[in-house]
Structure 1
Amino acid sequence: MSVHIDIAGLRPERVAVVPSPLAELGMALHALSEPAHHPGLQGWVTGVSARLDPHLADRMCEADFLWRSTFSDLFMPWAGLPDAGTLPGGTLAEELDQLDKLSDEQFVDAALEFTCAVGYGTCGPTPLSDPGVRRRALELAAARGPQQLRFTERLLTDPPAIRAWLRQFLRDCDEAFFAEAWGRLRHQLAADTRHKTDLLRHKGLPGMLAAVSRAITLDATGTRLTVDKLGGDDATTAGDGGLLLVPTSLGWPHLMVLHRYGWRPVLHYPVGSPELAAPPSLDQLALRMTALSHPVRMRICRFLARSAYTTGELAQVLGMTAPEISRHLALLKKAGLLTTRRRGRYVLHQLDVTVVARLGSEFLEGILR
């Protein structure tokens, strides 16, 4: 349930923290398409949606598979360019020029990554080079409705036309709402970039990563970076291109990892968000939900939410033996759901209602991370 990045031999100067206006525009489009993923942005989403030109809104829906479920790697084109040292542009116009430098194969493969997953982290045939992959891409697009099918057919038939369409669409979005938002956000992202760069210089990669997200860990040898995300155990290598970290203000709770084969690995992380409250790992989250799913433990929690009980008292009120109760309490305690305190020779157990109350938001953060 993790993504791994091999950083053996990675020199500190090959690690860079850089904001990206194009990546932030991708997150803006995602938030507008899936506002439920970003409850903290409801006011901004409502304001933008209310004044959005209907024609632009229709175009936004036309290709929303590029940013609705998550956002496409096309919003990080600098990671796919042959020059391993390419960084995000300082302006949206610069990054749109970088997007133009991707090959048609790269563009189409990245655009269809959520509808034609032939192997995100491996080298394989593309819809432009393999008829079988092309047919599969169209089948998967058809399953998502006629609008996506039409767009995919156009993409596969005439990639340059779709590339021109997307470039113009992104420029129109910039004029309609993003330029104003970026004018506010870029200062926060620049400040975070300076802070993380200073941490990297003075505390090394472990110290900087600890400030980025507690979901990112470095192994004892300092050669393998692990991101706690749902999914398969995917892996990539930070080669000559090094490792890029890109902050996002609009992106919480998404902690994204670009690990496409042949592209530079990128950590796209949220700043200025509740994520700093240290959410549990996915394993700990699964353990808590499993612990609460048992009917007996639910009954135990009902009592412990109201008052502190000893094991013997719970055994009496529930009509069970003390060893049976102890086994259930041990699992709840292992999951971090109980507090205990000693009173003389008795041990009192109580439900940590604060932890339980956070489970809903932690579950959402975990699966959207």
Structure 2
Amino acid sequence: MAVIITLQGVVPADIAVGLSPLAELMACLHSVAEPEHHLDVRPWLEHVSTALSEETRSLLAVYAPLWNRRRCRALLPLELPLGRTLEQELARLEALPLDEFVTVVAPGVHGGFFDTGDLLTDESVRGAYVLSCERRSFSRGELARRLVETPEQVRAGLLDLLRRCAAEFFDAEWARVRHRLESECARVRARIQALPLPEALASLSPNATVGRNPPAVVFDKLQSLRADPRGRRCLLVPSVHARPHLIVKDDTSYPVVVHFPVEGAGLAERATLAQVRLRLAILAEPARLELCRHLVNEPITTSDLAARTGMTAPQVSRHLGRLREVGLLTSRRDGRLVYHRLDTDCLMRLGVDVLTSIIR
């Protein structure tokens, strides 16, 4: 399964890179709703949790389907220009014709796959839609019912909630991350000008590959989607809080949007899925796992490891070489001796990398 953006006939002018505070707010709300997906921002999540008023907390539970799983297209840029303020983006959402609002929000409320094409005109489709949402969860069913019966109230409540979140925590967070996102936009624009488009877009994710015939970028996702931005533009929107998720939205009425994560300052580079698999395979070998029990406690030489484990020195050297190849071993020379030790920071990150690779 993969998300493929075909780039046949697409030129750099068809790609726009810019900021969207509303998209970043949605990413924040996703991490608040799904904290187990975002282990590296736990302190920030705890801070936000204490800042939320009870009324805001209650409303977040009501509207959570819009950002829990299948991010709502209405909360990503619907058109150019990028770089609007949050209030300008909210005003754009408020100005959407009501039927367009329902159409663009309904898939996010459902969170799965349901053909909403006749939702506005066919009563039986509306009933089936609400029932399908109810089967997914009670909260989705309730929000779906309100969306088809009183869409104006749903929109007003959503806008009120987003403005509450801005006042209670997001305005301060946007001020903190905006410069980092602007810098990332500049880097991506430079890559688009310097590299073939498939390579430039593949740089947005460590798990992306380049397709050649036709030219395309392929993102490894638990989703099957083929997007063609010709005639509609492709909007690239960086995010700090989207980590580790890369989101691609392809709704025919709007531009293709890629909401991609930016690694935070000071964070180690995320391992690719292939690196995670290899590290797990290396550690799964019983002899190497036994060596790790000695390597984690203190720096130790090859000969000492051989004496402790009963292996020959060449056997130990081969196992150490495999651990070093995947970045799990550090070595330092002291005179004639070389001391080895397990890289515990890398090992501790492995658990997060496994989770990140699964949910990316």
Return the TM-score normalized by structure 2: 0.76
Q: Give per-residue Cα distances to partners, 1:8-29, cap 9 Å, x unaligned.
A: 1001101111110110111121
Residue of structure 2 equivalent to 1:36: 36
Over the residues paired in the alignment, what is the CA RMSD in angstroms?
A: 4.2
Residue of structure 2 equivalent to 1:141: 134
> Of the candidates 233, 256, 262, which is equivalent to residue 265 of structure 1?
256
Identity of aligned residues (%): 28
1:16 touches 1:244 (CA, 8 Å); kept in 2?
yes
Q: Quick one: distance in 2 between partners of 1:2 and 1:275?
A: 30
Residue of structure 1 equivalent to 2:197: 205
Q: Quick one: distance in 2 between partners of 1:93 and 1:289?
A: 46
Q: Give per-residue Cα distances to partners, 1:336-368, cap 9 Å, x unaligned.
A: 5888xxxxxxxxxx9987765442121111123
Q: 1:144 is matched by which residue type in structure 2?
A: S
- Which stretches of structure 1, 4 residues or longer, exceed 4 Å deviation after superposition? 274-278, 286-310, 335-339, 350-357
Partner SS, residue 273 of structure 1: coil
Q: Quick one: distance in 2 between partners of 1:250 and 1:256?
A: 12
What's the offset of the Cα at 1:97? 3.0
Q: Give per-residue Cα distances to partners, 1:146-178, cap 9 Å, x unaligned.
A: x44322211121222211221222122222222
Partner SS, residue 50 of structure 1: helix
Residues 47-62 of structure 1: matches in 2 within 5 Å? 47-62=47-62
Q: Give per-residue Cα distances to partners, 1:101-139, cap 9 Å, x unaligned.
A: 26044234333241x412xxxx76354446256425434
2:210 matched to 1:215?
A: no
Residue of structure 1 equivalent to 2:146: 154
Q: Quick one: distance in 1 between partners of 2:238 and 2:168?
A: 23
Q: 1:90 is matched by which residue type in structure 2?
A: R
2:100 matched to 1:106?
A: no
Q: Is there any run of 5+ residues in structure 1 with no aligned partner, and where?
A: 80-85, 319-324, 340-349
Q: Quick one: distance in 2 between partners of 1:70 and 1:135?
A: 19
1:228 touches 1:281 (CA, 8 Å); kept in 2?
no
Residues 38-187 of structure 1: matches in 2 within 5 Å? 38-69=38-69, 71-78=71-78, 86-88=80-82, 90-99=84-93, 100-101=95-96, 103-114=100-111, 116-118=112-114, 125=117, 127-128=119-120, 129=122, 131-132=124-125, 134-145=127-138, 147-187=139-179
What's the offset of the Cα at 1:223? 1.3
Q: Is there any run of 5+ residues in structure 2 with no aligned partner, and where?
A: 330-340
Q: Quick one: distance in 2 between partners of 1:337 and 1:250?
A: 27
Q: What is the count of residue pairs matched by the alignment?
A: 346
Q: Quick one: distance in 1 between partners of 2:44 and 2:347?
A: 30
Return the TM-score normalized by structure 1: 0.74
Residue of structure 2 equivalent to 1:26: 26
**Are residues 151 and 220 of structure 1, via their aligned partners in 2, closer, same or farther at CA, if it must alter by over 3 Å?**
closer
Partner SS, residue 117 of structure 1: coil
Q: Give per-residue Cα distances to partners, 1:177-230, cap 9 Å, x unaligned.
A: 22222223222222221232123223453564365332233224571111122x
Q: Quick one: distance in 1 between partners of 2:283 and 2:126?
A: 44
Q: Give per-residue Cα distances to partners, 1:296-324, cap 9 Å, x unaligned.
A: 886687689898989xx9xx969xxxxxx
What's the offset of the Cα at 1:3? 1.0
Q: Give per-residue Cα distances to partners, 1:8-64, cap 9 Å, x unaligned.
A: 100110111111011011112122223333334333333332232211211111111
Q: Quick one: distance in 2 between partners of 1:127 and 1:214?
A: 38
Q: 1:166 is matched by which residue type in structure 2?
A: L
